[in-house]
Amino acid sequence: MTTTATEDTGMTTRALVLVHDPAADRRERIPGALLPALSTRSVKHEIISFVGAESEPDLRDYDLLVVMGSRESAYDDTVPWLPRELAFVGAAVDHGLPVLGICFGGQLLARHLGGSVGPAAVPEFGFTTVGTSDPDLVARGPWMQFHGDAFVPPVGTEIARNASGSQAFLAGKVLGVQFHPEITRDSFDSWIERWDAEGDTPAGAVDVAALRAAVARHERRSALLCDRLVGTFLERTLR
């Protein structure tokens, strides 16, 4: 399994970050603002991908799991690596590990916990606000959205939503969000590079150049919102 990791500086709190890009040179860029939010709280991270992997890490080596977005659908079991990742994420939840799921990651968590995932009634591409019952954890935003699928969370766990549907749920030590708190110009550029490399640039409702400009305008505020979300989540789950 291909991994990237922070330098060992004696930190004891460790986060495992799952990404879904086959190119190892883009993997460190995908988590964007999440990495400084973890680092400032002395959380060491390791980044892995189940895409093409033959082995998996030992969950006992980590204190936190983060599952990032994917171009695949969390309900499509024909995706070769999805059943293994679903089982791995489910094991983390069942063992009481704090888990943060972003977009696809949130959808995977909703599926494991008894919710559902399917095509979104209103796909979202761009920055939106959300209504929230837990603003210390999930602020109103604006948050970056990029999803054609959506989750219905387990009953009684929803903490944020907007006109598109559910935007966040909290179930014990599990937080799933539909939006992308990690977004930075560089993380978005890593998406663009993959689209270009694979000849699969999103069409239709997505104006990539305009969205990239919006990411740049919102970058500073997005980083602050991400830091707040990560900090509150860690404070609540890693005490």
Give the active site residues: 103, 180, 182
Task: Give the other-Cβ count within 10 Å of 137's Cβ.
Answer: 21
The span from the CA of 157 to the CA of 77, in Å, is: 25
Q: Which two tokens stand for residue 71?
A: 């171009």
Q: Which two tokens stand for residue 49?
A: 């991908």
Nearest by Cα to 32 from 140, 130, 144: 144
The span from the CA of 84 to the CA of 128, in Å, is: 33
Q: What angle do CA 13, 17, 18 make, to 5 degrees?
A: 155
H or E element in which residue 85 lies: helix 82-94
**Partners of residue 132 on adjacent β-strands:** 160
Q: Which two tokens stand for residue 148?
A: 């054609």
Contact 212, 192 (CB under 8 A): yes
Contact 14, 165 (CB under 8 A): no
Contact 117, 151 (CB under 8 A): yes
